Copies of this chain bind each other. A is one copy, B any other.
């Protein structure tokens, strides 16, 4: 269903928590705060650190903090940190050499257009916006294609990520 990874979902939850905390905290603290299992927190954090979204301090009294202000962390950054470059098809992996079938391939870069559109949409929403407790009026106000615009969770037990 055109889903992001579960780990990516976790990443957003963890980043949100860190954005609200605003100070260095150990992985187990973040885990306790969010309900995400400790090993999973560790795994996600590794990816976030590698991507430069989070800064880590080792040793006793170490932990994690956001590496930059929440305003400059977009949803696209989080997804790319966990899942690599945003490319809907294998055709458009960002690289330097050109497709040897260019001019023959019927897609002719049209997917690239789609990718650009999606990436743009994912760059337009930042962690700071998500961290704002009341959902911003701009989103509650907009007509929303889904009637009502409410969101639900199919399985109450086996909750999964995206909630504390």
Residues of A within 8 A of B (CB): 1-4, 9, 12-13, 16-17, 75, 79, 83-102, 104-114, 116-122, 124-125, 129-130, 133, 135, 139, 142, 144-146, 148-154, 156, 160-164
**Chain B, Cβ-Cβ closest to A101:** B163
Given contacts A113-B139, A130-B110, contact A90 B149 (CB under 8 A): no
Given contacts A1-B84, A90-B160, A106-B17, contact A125 B116 (CB under 8 A): no
A-B contact pairs, 25 of them (CB 8 A): A1-B83, A1-B85, A2-B84, A2-B86, A3-B90, A9-B89, A17-B106, A96-B148, A99-B151, A99-B152, A99-B153, A100-B156, A101-B163, A102-B150, A105-B162, A105-B163, A106-B163, A107-B163, A109-B149, A112-B139, A114-B121, A116-B145, A117-B124, A117-B125, A120-B121
Residues of B within 8 A of A12 (CB): 107, 111
Given contacts A151-B109, A151-B112, contact A4 B89 (CB under 8 A): yes
Give chain B nearest CB distance to A19 CB in angstroms.
10
**Chain B, Cβ-Cβ closest to A119:** B145
Residues of B within 8 A of A154 (CB): 90, 93, 95
Give chain B nearest CB distance to A56 CB in angstroms.
22
